[in-house]
Structure 1
């Protein structure tokens, strides 16, 4: 690994770490850096294994820290959330072939939509005879699906806002650093 690769790797790692640690600061529900971390990692890390391992390791560690701090790092739907993270990574692989504003915005927006659609799909929640959004239980029919998606809209708004904010911070800071001569990808 060259000296330039090492510097670039340290900068990428530092940006991802700082973003992940921001999850530990009080914030509105779903206004987090998680999807931005995944999208950023897929876009700027050259090594295919590290594109996957780094964001998931950082997210898992920050979830562990949240669990110890608040008791809310893990829950019964964690498997679904992590599955949605994988789909977001696949979206990023497909959309961000080249880093530019349009691709980053599109990848972030599509990733947010995929995450919302997956994590709010009523059939992934316990069945209820009557929809009860206060309990997170929805009937397993079209009414339950609609109710579940409606209940998730305020969180979706926060999520898109957070995803765009953190993507702008990560990619913008990285572009600024690049302007000082560092290469685009790390091995």
Structure 2
């Protein structure tokens, strides 16, 4: 199952999408919640790396390898989502998952844009740091939307598949009498 999620997360970065509206942060939350050890952060970081390699090879805009300071901080922000997801493992409610998606978005925003500032893309002053964060607010909005949307899909689908509902639905359907053809004549 996690291999499929890896492929889906990688694909969301390769398909046309608004900047930062991808599955990677939600995958980090999900992996942090359900996987143990290094796998929890390696899954989202690996999906990001795979998509960056593919983006670099095929010269996709906005993807590939870039300034090492920014690159490292972006990956640290992604690994942070797995650490936040770990806090969900004992108590997964919709409110907590939503809160974790918001927290993950904010951590990613703060860490990745600190890397942008460190890389010298803004003046090395407090005003430069404020300008860096201010200019990145549209990216935060997309990250929030992506993390909330994909977290709902990942956690919701998994929890539904683990519940008794799928087996109950199968049982209900199998107990229904065969439907009569619509055009059958009554005798």
Mark yes or no: TM-score above 0.5: yes
Match of 1:83 in 2: 76
1:99 corresponds to which of 89, 92, 96: 92
Match of 1:17 in 2: 7
Match of 1:74 in 2: 65
The structure that has the greater radius of gyration is 2
> For 2:150 and 2:123, how far apart are their aligned partners in 1?
35
Match of 1:112 in 2: 105
How far did residue 96 of structure 1 move?
A: 4.7
How far did residue 52 of structure 1 move?
A: 2.7
> For 1:54 and 1:123, how far apart are their aligned partners in 2?
27
How far did residue 14 of structure 1 move?
A: 1.9
> For 2:83 and 2:158, how far apart are their aligned partners in 1?
22
Decide whether the 8 Å contact of 1:33 with 1:162 is kept in 2: yes
What are the equivalent positions in structure 2 for 1:143-162 lying under 5 Å apart? 143-162=127-146
Q: Which structure 1 residue ranges, 5 or more long, are not aligned?
A: 1-10, 127-136, 182-187
Q: 1:15 to 1:123 in 2, by over 3 A?
A: closer
> For 1:158 and 1:58, how far apart are their aligned partners in 2?
19
Question: TM-score, normalised on structure 2?
Answer: 0.76
Match of 2:161 in 1: 177
Aligned Cα root-mean-square deviation (Å): 2.0
- The yes-or-no answer on 1:54 pairing with 2:43 is yes
Q: Which structure 2 residue ranges, 5 or more long, are not aligned?
A: 168-187
Query: Aligned residues, how many?
Result: 160
Match of 1:184 in 2: none
For residues 30-85 of structure 1, the C-alpha deviation after alignment (integer angstroms, 9 at most, x for no partner) is 1111111111111122x323223333222221221222231622211211111222
Question: TM-score, normalised on structure 1?
Answer: 0.76
Decide whether the 8 Å contact of 1:22 with 1:33 is kept in 2: yes
Match of 1:125 in 2: 119
How far did residue 13 of structure 1 move?
A: 2.9
What are the equivalent positions in structure 2 for 1:20-35 lying under 5 Å apart? 20-35=10-25
Once the two structures are overlaid, the 10-residue window that deviates more, 115-124 or 140-149, is 115-124
Decide whether the 8 Å contact of 1:12 with 1:174 is kept in 2: no
> For 2:86 and 2:136, how far apart are their aligned partners in 1?
26
